[in-house]
Amino acid sequence: AIALDPTVPLSYFGRIKCREVRGEWEQAVEDGNEVIRRHPKNAEAYFHRGVSLHGKHAWKAALADFDRV
């Protein structure tokens, strides 16, 4: 889905969730960064990036994202 239209945030959310389940925190954060770059007001992107940052034990960064939700 991302290859067909990388501007659709929902496509990234599915991949982010899969990466979270697999513990691929860095890749999930990168996907979150991409959605936020394209859609800076998307609260779900901040939430998922916060979850991924939490998984990386980047507590302050995760909290900052959760505060934006």
Q: Residue 12 — very low, low, confident or very high, per pLDDT cuts 50/70/90?
A: confident
| pLDDT value of position 4 | 74
| pLDDT value of position 60 | 97
2-20 average pLDDT score: 82
Alpha carbon 51 to its chain centroid, in Å, reads 8
Sequence-ordered strand ranges (E) for the chain: none
pLDDT tens for each residue of 18-54: 999 999 999 999 999 999 998 999 999 999 999 999 9
| pLDDT value of position 2 | 77
